[in-house]
């Protein structure tokens, strides 16, 4: 009989401890970690040009594509941009700059856009990056 009392007491104590543990965690919510992308990114790429007027046009084109800042270095032919990747991308900025007349690391400017640049802004196109894609403007009206 002594053994029975001991087992019964141990069983009741075990049930009490389990109930107490459940009561302590009943209102708790498990948190999960969330990875958040950086709000702002930056990129630098080649953009061909010549002068201060080019700088103004290039930076304005980059801004129109959604950059938070864009600075073109005329000596190095480099555009450094900062942007929110949720709003724009490097590819969109490169395309906007090309459509304004400036060959860059991503796109070759359409001939019409280049020819519309002021005379001092018509840079030597032989230095255009070889991997630049066409903006798709050259073939308009050609049945392609």
Q: How many structural domains does the chain have?
A: 1
- Report the CATH number that the domain containing residue 121 is assigned in CATH: 3.30.70.100
In a domain, 72, yes or no: yes
In a domain, 7, yes or no: no
In this prediction, residues 127-133 reach a mean pLDDT of 56
**pTM of the predicted protein model:** 0.67
Indicate whether 21 pLDDT > 60: no
In a domain, 32, yes or no: no
In a domain, 80, yes or no: yes
**Strand runs (DSSP E) across 26-129, as ranges?**
41-46, 67-73, 78-83, 107-108
In a domain, 124, yes or no: yes
Long-range contacts of 72-79 (CB under 8 A, 24+ apart): 72/47, 74/49, 74/50, 77/46, 77/47, 77/48, 77/49, 77/127, 78/44, 78/45, 78/46, 78/47, 79/44, 79/45, 79/46, 79/47, 79/104
In a domain, 137, yes or no: no
Range of weakest confidence among 5-9, 14-18, 73-77 = 14-18
In a domain, 23, yes or no: no
Q: What is the pLDDT of residues 69-120, one digit of tens each?
A: 999 999 999 999 999 999 999 999 999 999 999 999 999 999 999 999 999 9
Distance CA 109, CA 22 (A): 68
Domain that holds residue 78: 41-130
Looking at residue 7, what is its pLDDT?
63
In a domain, 111, yes or no: yes
The neighbouring-strand residues paired with 81 are 43, 70
Looking at residue 142, what is its pLDDT?
38
């Amino acid at each position: 009989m002594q053994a029975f009392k001991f087992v019964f007491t141990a069983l009741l104590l075990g049930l009490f401890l389990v109930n107490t543990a459940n009561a302590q965690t009943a209102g708790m919510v498990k948190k999960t970690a969330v990875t958040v992308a950086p709000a702002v990114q930056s990129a630098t790429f080649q953009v061909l040009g010549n002068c201060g007027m080019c700088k103004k046009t290039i930076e304005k084109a980059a801004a129109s594509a959604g950059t938070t800042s864009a600075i073109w270095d005329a000596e190095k032919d480099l555009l450094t941009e900062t942007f929110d990747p949720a709003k724009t991308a490097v590819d969109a900025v490169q395309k906007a700059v090309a459509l304004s007349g400036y060959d860059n690391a991503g796109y070759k400017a359409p001939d019409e856009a280049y020819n519309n640049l002021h005379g001092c802004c018509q840079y030597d196109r032989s230095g255009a990056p070889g991997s630049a894609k066409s903006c798709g403007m050259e073939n308009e009206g050609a049945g392609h």
